[in-house]
């Protein structure tokens, strides 16, 4: 029998301590799992109208949902109760690679097409009022005139998203090809661009989503680098977050106490604007209540999230507890 406090007893206690896994109290705690529920059968479709890959979602000032997908009816509008209203832009030659939709503070709808290298603004009556970029011209490719030309600074190479600052300037994440952010005035005049492909601060590898908070901080989902980068309006790096998954899509709640939701692969992550992960919800899968590639996301308030699911051709409305 070992006497308490004897050298042998202390040695045995040390061996047992080293051999025992760290307790839950000793291990760093991960972010909490957020409870949520999916609103079943929220969207109501007319006969023979379907989604293909759902890649973007935005809420209008009226609370209507604008959903972009890669099917024959690329841009659809639903009312606040999920009732189908209309398809927008049928027959226009801009739906080559639908990627995202956003509403600006004035209620204009912006549509981003990565395949046609376009960023298009619709006014509240859904009339086209501005087009940024230039879609490829088939005849110039057939004759090899600009096949390998470098796009002009004001043009895009597979853009992905758009945001605005309080002065009305807009910022385009551009994107799969250029790996940069391009800044324009509210009148559509090119100002500057920053970034190039790489892993250093201020560089990008697929800047896939972009948002601006109430104070003017710009957040870029640097997807293939697995991080969110923070910038001021001049493109100066202000920080970098790693939130536990590759950021595919970003949204910010309105109001003075904003939080961010990050769509990722197999999960949605809630983040405070100090960069702290506040919670995670979901697991990977294709069934309702699970997540695949959350390509687009919208959050009109802290307890409501719309998740655009690319692989399962679905838009989920989530109620977060």
pLDDT digits (tens, 9 = 90+) for 200-256: 999 999 999 999 999 999 999 999 999 999 999 999 999 999 999 999 999 999 989
The Cα–Cα gap between 68 and 94 comes to 13
The Cα–Cα gap between 102 and 86 comes to 17
pLDDT grade for 288, boundaries at 50, 70 and 90: confident
Structure tokens at 117: 């290298």
Structure tokens at 237: 């790096």
- CATH topology classification for 28-320: Neuraminidase (2.120.10)
pLDDT digits (tens, 9 = 90+) for 149-182: 667 899 999 999 999 999 999 999 999 999 999 9
pLDDT digits (tens, 9 = 90+) for 3-47: 555 555 555 444 444 444 544 445 556 899 999 999 999 999 999
Which residue ranges make up each domain of the chain? 28-320
How would you classify the pairing of strands 294-301 and 277-281?
Answer: unpaired
pLDDT given at position 152: 83
Taking residues 139-146, report their average pLDDT. Answer: 60
Residue matched to tokens 């970098």 = 240
Cis peptide leading into residue 72 (ω within 30°):
no
């Amino acid at each position: 029998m070992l006497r308490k406090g004897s050298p042998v007893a202390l040695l045995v206690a040390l061996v047992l301590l080293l051999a025992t896994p760290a307790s839950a109290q000793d291990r760093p705690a991960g972010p909490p799992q957020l409870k949520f529920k999916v609103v079943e059968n929220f969207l109501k479709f007319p006969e023979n109208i379907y989604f293909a890959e759902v890649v973007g979602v935005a809420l209008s000032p009226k609370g209507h949902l604008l959903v972009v997908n890669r099917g024959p009816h690329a841009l659809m509008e639903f009312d606040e109760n999920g009732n189908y209203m209309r398809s927008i832009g049928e027959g226009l030659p801009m739906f080559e690679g639908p990627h995202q939709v956003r509403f600006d503070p004035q209620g204009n709808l912006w549509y981003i097409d990565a395949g046609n290298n376009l960023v298009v603004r619709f006014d509240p009556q859904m009339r086209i009022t501005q087009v940024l970029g230039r879609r490829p011209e088939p005849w110039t490719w057939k004759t090899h005139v600009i096949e390998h030309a470098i796009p002009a600074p004001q043009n895009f190479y597979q853009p992905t998203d758009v945001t605005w600052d309080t002065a009305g300037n807009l910022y385009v994440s551009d994107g799969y090809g250029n790996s940069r952010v391009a800044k324009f005035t509210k009148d559509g005049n090119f100002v500057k661009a920053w970034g190039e492909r790489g892993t250093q601060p201020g560089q990008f590898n697929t800047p896939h989503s972009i948002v601006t908070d109430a104070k003017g901080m710009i957040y870029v989902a640097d997807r293939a680098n697995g991080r969110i980068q923070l910038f001021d309006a001049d493109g100066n790096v202000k920080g970098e977050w790693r939130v536990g998954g590759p950021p595919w899509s970003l949204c910010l709640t309105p109001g003075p106490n904003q939080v961010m939701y990050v769509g990722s692969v197999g999960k949605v992550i809630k983040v405070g604007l100090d960069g702290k992960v506040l919670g995670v919800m979901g697991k990977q899968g294709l069934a309702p209540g699970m997540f695949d590639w959350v390509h687009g996301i919208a959050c009109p308030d802290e307890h409501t999230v719309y998740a655009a699911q690319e692989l399962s051709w679905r838009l989920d409305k989530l109620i977060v507890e």
